[in-house]
Amino acid sequence: MLVTIISPAKKLDYSPVEKNIDSTIPSLLEHSNELIKDLKSLNPQEVSSLMSLSDKLGALNYERFQEWKTPFTKSNSKQAILAFKGDVYQGLDAESLSETELIWAQKHVRILSGLYGILKPMDLMQPYRLEMGTKFATKRGQNLYDFWNSIITEELNKNFSSDNTNLLNLASNEYFKSINVSELKANVISPVFMDKKNGKYKIISFFAKKARGLMTRYVIKNRIEDITDIQNFEEGGYFFSEAMSEDNKPVFCRD
């Protein structure tokens, strides 16, 4: 079995969903509720300071925290895979996936989150901004890594039913650090995406983010279960470089 993890995005789109697709409720919502109670105590200036935001964005996210409430419904929430709109999600292009493909993704893809811990693609979520690296102190510790501790890892482990399980890590370092790898019941594969610049292959952040989304889409559309099959990934002009790859770090290059 293969489970793919990706990061969330700062950019959100809460326009109505055109497809009539199912939705689910985040599994760690009790922890999100605990975080929100603390976040609601902040004023707009404190929200801006916490996340190094402009006054305008600080006020927006202050309002988001204040308006956050349960129960989650399709009128106050949206499926996570459709709500996020950052670089990764440009490559993923979830709107063009079929209902069957979204159902498959629901079982095989997970989105890490500072507020929700971990989200399935069809989990409803209310708009927020809270990056995993935020140094927000709670009774559990000094930051969100302390807050989530082993909770995200334990939730991921529920997906791993056999010894032959791989975790395809397409998340950023900031979010991957929320996982306690020593407790993870899966082998971690972390692809590297490189573009040629001035005659040398380098990691270029913007392109690498979009490539993670492209690979996630590739995995979903081809229902990849065997980790070695990702070597056939050629979306966006990338190709697998065996010579540059290391154990558990396959390298994909683009000229």
pLDDT digits (tens, 9 = 90+) for 19-29: 788 999 999 99
Q: Give me the pLDDT at residue 18, please.
A: 76
Residues for the chain: how many in total? Answer: 255
Give the integer Cα–Cα distance in Å for 68 and 77: 10
CA distances from residue 160 to 8, 9, 227 in whole angstroms, order as listed:
22, 26, 14
On whether the pTM is more than 0.85, the answer is: yes
Dump pLDDT digits (tens) for 46-75: 999 999 999 999 999 999 999 999 999 989
Which residues face 78 on adjacent strands? 125
pLDDT for 19 equals 76
Q: SS3 of 79, please?
A: strand
Model pLDDT, residue 17: 85
DSSP 114-152: TTTEEE-TTBEE------TT----BTTBSSHHHHHTTHH
**Whole-Å CA distances, 91 to 40, 57, 84, 108, 173:** 34, 26, 12, 17, 19
| Whole-number Å distance between alpha carbons of 142 and 52 | 17
Backbone φ/ψ region at 93: left (φ over 0), alpha (ψ -120 to 50), beta: left
DSSP conformation class of 245: E
- From residue 78, alpha-carbon distances to 19, 37, 66, 139 in Å are 12, 21, 18, 30
Strand arrangement of the beta sheet that strand 200-202 belongs to: 200-202, 192-197, 249-254, 239-246
pLDDT at 21: 87
Report the distance separating Cα 101 and Cα 124, nearest Å: 18
Give every residue of the chain whose pLDDT is below 70, as ranges.
162-163
